[in-house]
Amino acid sequence: MTATRRERLADDAWLLHFGAETPPIDDATNARVHRIAARIRADAPAWLRDLVPAYASLAVFFDPDAIDAGTVERWLDARLAGDDGTTAATAPRCIEIPVVYGGDFGEDLDSVAQELGITADALAARHAAGTYSVAMIGFAPGFPYLSGLDPALALPRLATPRTRVPAGSVAIGGAQTGLYPRESPGGWRLIGRTPLRLFDPMRASPSLLVPGDRVRFVAIDAREFARREVQS
C-alpha cells in the first residue's frame, strides 16, 4: 500500500496524501493516517520535527540541516510499503467530556432539534450516546474535528457565522461534531458547552485532545459545570 501521492510542502516538509484528491470523511482512510503517524513516531528518527495528521493526509516536518528531502522521501516510502493494514496503532486514549446541553450553554439545541424533527432531550441523548474519534486538530489551536456523529444528526453550518462563540462550545457542523477551545467566530450549530479547558499553552501537552483519541460526551447540569470550571 502506498500514499496516493506525495508533495513537497516546504523545504523542510513532505505532505503524504491518502485516498482521493478531495476525500470524503472516511474513517478507514483517517485510521490509516493515524497508523502511519504512530509508526513514524515509534521509529523516532532524530531528524523528525513534527507530524500533522489530517483527515486524509499527513505532513512530515524534518530538520533540513540534518537530512536531505530525498533521503526522507525514501525513508517514508519504506514505511508506507510496510503498511499492510494489519498493524494497529497504539491503543487510543478514551477521554470523557462533560457537557451541559441546551439553554444558555447551547443556544441552537432547540432549533436544531426542531429541524431534525425530534425533541431537544432526544437530540442531546443521541449526541452523548456516540463514541467519537479525533480525526484531526485544526481551525484553531486545540480544536478537534470528531468523526462518528450519528448521520441522522448531521446539519449544515449556519448561513452567517457568529462573530462570537464561547470557549468550550460543543457543536455540529455538517457530518462532524467539534469543540471550540477558545472564544472565536464560528458557524457550527451550538448544542452545549464543556467546562474543560481544551487548550492551555502552559500545559506540558497544550491540547487536551490529540488526533486518534476517542471521545465520549457525558451530560451534566449547570451546577456541575460551575464546579468543574473552577477546577479546570
Distance CA 169, CA 144 (A): 12
Q: What is the pLDDT of residues 104-127, one digit of tens each?
A: 999 999 999 999 999 999 999 999
Residue 169 near residue 129, CB atoms below 8 Å: no
Start and end residues for every CATH 3.30.1360.40 domain found in the chain: 5-81
What is the model's pLDDT at position 11? 94
Q: How confident is the model at residue 1 (pLDDT cuts 50, 70, 90)?
A: very low
Look up the CATH architecture of domain 5-81: 2-Layer Sandwich (3.30)
Inform me whether the pLDDT recorded for 21 exceeds 70: no
Q: What is the pLDDT of residues 74-107, one digit of tens each?
A: 999 888 887 766 555 567 899 999 999 999 999 9
Distance CA 112, CA 136 (A): 25
What is the model's pLDDT at position 26? 81
Which has the minimum average pLDDT: 9-23, 28-42, 157-171? 9-23
> What number of other Cβ atoms are within 10 A of residue 73's Cβ?
14
First to last CA, the chain: 43
What is the model's pLDDT at position 231? 76
What is the model's pLDDT at position 107? 96
Inform me whether the pLDDT recorded for 201 exceeds 60: yes
Look up the CATH architecture of domain 94-231: Beta Barrel (2.40)
What is the model's pLDDT at position 27? 84
Q: What is the pLDDT of residues 145-189, one digit of tens each?
A: 999 999 999 999 999 999 999 999 999 999 999 999 999 999 999
Q: Alpha carbon of 163 to those of 61, 72, 137, 140, 160: distances in Å?
A: 34, 42, 21, 15, 9
What is the C-alpha R_g of the chain? 19
> What number of other Cβ atoms are within 10 A of residue 162's Cβ?
16
Mean pLDDT rounded to a whole number for the chain = 91
Inform me whether the pLDDT recorded for 2 exceeds 70: no
Higher-pLDDT residue of 220 and 3 is 220
Kindly state the cell numbers that stand for 7.
508533495
Q: Which of 133, 136, 115 lies closest to 189 in space, CA to CA?
A: 115
